Amino acid sequence: MSIRKSWMGKGSLVALCALMSVSLASADLPEIMFELTADAGPISVTIPIPSAWGTYDPETQIWSWTLENDLPFEANGQVVATLTQFDVMVREDPEVNLNFAVQAGAGDTTFSIASALLTFAPISNAQGIASAAMTITDQNGDGAMLTGIGATGGAYLAQYNGWAGDPINGPSGTTFHEGITNIMADPWMQGTASTGQGWTAISDTVNDMSALISFSLTGQDLASGTSHYEIVPEPAAGMLLIVAGLFAARRRS
């Protein structure tokens, strides 16, 4: 397996993204499903996760991929950070699930994990649910801190009708949920935080969704987390569709 890495000076354009919108219903996967960036001072390293690395099940319409070995964010022989865990599942329903773990380099490091924009047939009566939990671990005895850098300071951001992970213009969608502004850990200890929003009605017609995890982490320390984001038709709307279908079938019989 070859791993594509890109090195860019700070302030340069991060890869333009082949994180184009994707409709899993047709299995028309984008070249890049996730884009991970570690930024430490003047060096920024981006690792794209190609759809070809994962597997797609047309029956369940699920794309998934699991990292098997540590993956360094490396440029010109310098390791900026390390990705130690990455398990992802994207479903057409639509739904995005992510488990990750990273370790900062020698100095404070900024991380960004952006999902592709998942598009689907418009849902006019939708409801969504989103949650995330993160843990940091101090590795060098000086304490650890994670600081969210999302649209309004959250480390986890779930949006619809626009791309949360746009590297050029920043998040462009409507925020469904954002949370986890900071986590602190004492020397050699761990700190945790979680955020979430239960099933909530969405008044807008929804046609796409995406998630972004973005934060800064103190040098040498560890951060891990899980997240879940899902949008479905409201039960009442689904029931109306079923009833309408039954009525139409009855008229034909």
Neighbours of 243 (CB within 10 A): 10
Q: CA 7, CA 72: separation in Å to the nearest integer? A: 13
Kindly state the tokens that stand for 163: 């791309």
Locate tokens 């891990």: which residue? Answer: 224
Cα dihedral 243, 245, 251, 253 sign: negative
pLDDT tens readout for residues 62-112: 999 999 999 999 998 899 999 999 999 999 889 999 999 999 999 999 999
pLDDT tens readout for residues 181-228: 999 999 999 999 999 999 999 999 999 999 999 999 999 999 999 999
Q: What is the pTM assigned to this prediction?
A: 0.84
Locate tokens 């900026």: which residue? Answer: 80
Neighbours of 115 (CB within 10 A): 26
pLDDT tens readout for residues 130-188: 999 999 999 999 999 999 998 889 999 999 999 999 888 889 999 999 999 999 999 99
Q: What's CA 228's distance to the chain center, in Å?
A: 9
Domain segments of the chain as ranges: 6-252
Q: CA 174, CA 115: separation in Å to the nearest integer? A: 15
Q: Position 132: which residue type? A: A
